[in-house]
A and B are shown apart, each in its own frame.
Chain A
Amino acid sequence: MIYFIIRRLIMTVFLLLLVSMITFAIFFLVPRLAGQTAYQLAAQYVGRNPIPSEIKAVEIKLGLNAPLYLQYGRYIKGIVAGIHYNNGTDVSYCPFPCFGYSFRNDQPVWPQLISDAPVTLSIALGAAVLWLIGGVSIGVLSALRRGSIFDRLSMGIALAGVSLPVFFTGLIALELFSYKWPIFPNVHYVGITTNPLLWARNLVLPWITLAFLYAALYARLTRAGMLETMGEDYIRTARAKGLPERTVVVKHGLRAALTPIVTIFGLDLGLLLGGAILTETTYSMPGLGQFTILAIQNQDLPEIMGVVMIASFFIVIANMVVDILYAVVDPRVRF
């Protein structure tokens, strides 16, 4: 088991390196291949109507004229040790871990990511707890009462949940529960350390909105998984032992049906942590998703690159956690 984890960790490091290479290539190699010169690239980092000497200075400051492998080296060095951007007159320092430096805002990207991450984290984790509990229990009940009114009703709602986009359900929820019946008035993000109660209260609507979408998916997945496992021979064995039906369902059936759910859960959560763009936008919460949208609107390349890197890291790490969890759940994977 320990070796399994170590192997996974080593692989993850390689994967992260690969991800960084690909990200770097998208932002620096692809434009070159498309025929852009270092000068033209540098032009994207200066304001409007720049004079050529300014652009040249930026080119040198960012090292855009250096060979690509050196640029990549500088980039990695920035991440692990921090970096100085220097054009002779003006020095910008980007401390460890430097996931890019926004020249537009004249500040490193990392602290901004760090300050926005808790918002996304709050939304995603809270919703994840809700949808996991809700989706899985609805799925189990549906599977056990296949064909019943409960099953049909919940699967119908689940279909709606999967089909309706967050910006629709979110707005409806806002209209109903924030304006018409102000149960959750004035929804905005409050830090958990500032006021935990208000934090939770303001997050209820985003949580429910996001969880509704995912719970629907998970209910359907769980239902399908349970229907399959409850037909397995080992379920019959469990019954033949004289186990109470509850134990048969939860300990023997659900345990096996959960394996694929764990996989998808890890990936979904990893993806969400990179920014719950629609939910954040609908409820005007300044998380990583909002950050991404702003960065794209401003064409702030270092910021976009930073957020892409972080989002990919989340997914890679989620993958690793899933792999390890998988081994914990299913002993056959461990060897």
Chain B
Amino acid sequence: MAPLLEVSDLRIHFQTDDGLVKSVDGVSFTLERGRTLGIVGESGSGKSVTSMGIMGLHQGTKAKISGYIRLDGEDLVNATPARVRELRGSKMAMIFQDPLSSLHPYYTVGDQIVEAYRIHNKVKKQTARRHAVDLLGRVGIPQPQVRVDDYPHQFSGGMRQRAMIAMALSCDPELLIADEPTTALDVTVQAQILDLISDLQSEFGSAVIMITHDLGVVAELSDDILVMYAGRIAEYGSAADIFGRPDHPYTWGLLASMPRLDQERTTRLVPIPGTPPSLIRVPSGCPFHPRCRYTELVGGRRCETEVPPLREAVTPGHSAACHLTTEQRTRQWADLSAGRVQDEASTPEVAEQAGEPV
């Protein structure tokens, strides 16, 4: 059976006054039913734009899209806007970052869920309302038959996100995209929402794409992880591989900059030097090279001139886009994880290079 979602060589470019913005530049991945894919990256790495492309929400903007996106075998890139609209909300649904601004302030939560349900299902208002109450109950809203008539501003942050989830699940979608669903919430609520998503996933059997910049979030939920950098894939593999044996200097940087409970509190967090590159002037060669500490190991100027292809590493299904040889990477990661390499990153030279104004 074909995978539920197949994305191949997806490119989404925006023509702006300042130049061509290559938000997504050749991204491929697949997602099976019932599985969770985590897409990780800094702001501007193209993770949200990828999800917009899948949902067809770029339509009407000046985006140029190429490659293909197949949902259940059906190509979405070349589908008519009307067809994509039909699928949107029914077969694929999305949860957004800030539930307060993502819910319409003038309509009750119930009305908004009913609306989502009734576009794709020809049912009476009463039936849809019962469905909305039922959904609110399932996402853990207390007294759903009362709260269904509340407005979003009467809900707390966590409840709003629960309501968003209820809305997204109203038509029993096969694909659920969660775009940083916990960013606007405080930590305890974050955990609840993540638990809720994974519970509902097993209940509804949807495939989930979890977009986040928080490795902790994907670690908990994802089967597979896609690390994006400057609109391209840096590393792609199973969660176990990415966390256990990361294979790209960028992923190393992400992991090193994350606090861990299993380490001494005195261990310093190591930031990745510099800032994410501009998507108008993506660095030549490997987009990560201005911020990478291992360019000398590669030798020559390959990192600056040659775009590293996405290559399968030691484990099958685990690939990374880096010029370092497998042996070099194995050794570096072994050193890093043993804590042998100290913070030598923030040399002014590197920082300056990376922070070069555009």
Tally the A-B contacts, defined by beta carbons under 8 Å.
69
Tell me, yes or no, whether A61 is within 8 Å of chain B by CB. no
Which of A236, A241, A255, A329 has the most B CB atoms < 10 Å from its CB? Answer: A241
| Binary interface encoding of chain A residues 228-267 relative to chain B, with 1 for a CB under 8 A from any of its CBs, else 0 | 0000111011111111110000001001100000000000
Chain A residue with the shortest CB-CB distance to B167: A241
Tell me, yes or no, whether A175 is within 8 Å of chain B by CB. no
CB distance from B52 to the nearest CB of A (A): 9
Determine chain A's interface SS by DSSP, over half rule.
helix
Which of A239, A244, A252 has the most B CB atoms < 10 Å from its CB? Answer: A239
Q: Which residues of B contact A245 (CB under 8 A)?
A: 60
Query: A233-B98, A243-B115, A244-B85 given as contacts; is B104 within 8 A of A238 (CB)?
Result: yes
Query: A241-B116, A241-B119, A243-B119 given as contacts; is B105 within 8 A of A330 (CB)?
Result: yes
Selected contact of B106 from candidates A236, A240, A331, CB within 8 Å: A331
Binds A, one of B88-96, B210-218, B332-340, B342-350: B88-96
Chain B residue with the shortest CB-CB distance to A239: B57
Selected contact of A240 from candidates B88, B108, B153, CB within 8 Å: B88
Residues from 97 to 127 in B contacting A, C-beta threshold 8 Å: 97-98, 101-106, 108, 115-116, 119-120
Chain A residue with the shortest CB-CB distance to B87: A242
A232 x B89 contact (CB < 8 A): no
Query: A242-B87, A242-B119, A332-B153 given as contacts; is B57 within 8 A of A236 (CB)?
Result: yes
Q: Which residues of B contact A239 (CB under 8 A)?
A: 57, 88
Residues from 231 to 287 in B contacting A, C-beta threshold 8 Å: none
Chain B residue with the shortest CB-CB distance to A238: B104
B88 x A256 contact (CB < 8 A): no
Q: How far is the CA of A240 from the CA of B56 in the complex (A)?
A: 9
Q: Which residues of A contact B87 (CB under 8 A)?
A: 242
Tell me, yes or no, whether B151 is within 8 Å of chain A by CB. yes
Binding site for B on A (CB under 8 A): 232-234, 236-245, 252, 255-256, 329-332
Q: Could you show 25 A-B contacts with beta carbons less than 8 Å apart?
A: A232-B101, A233-B96, A233-B98, A234-B101, A234-B103, A234-B104, A234-B105, A236-B96, A237-B96, A237-B103, A237-B167, A240-B88, A240-B93, A240-B96, A241-B116, A241-B119, A242-B85, A242-B89, A242-B90, A256-B104, A329-B106, A331-B105, A331-B153, A332-B105, A332-B153
Binding site for A on B (CB under 8 A): 55, 57, 60, 85-90, 93-94, 96-98, 101-106, 108, 115-116, 119-120, 151, 153, 164, 167
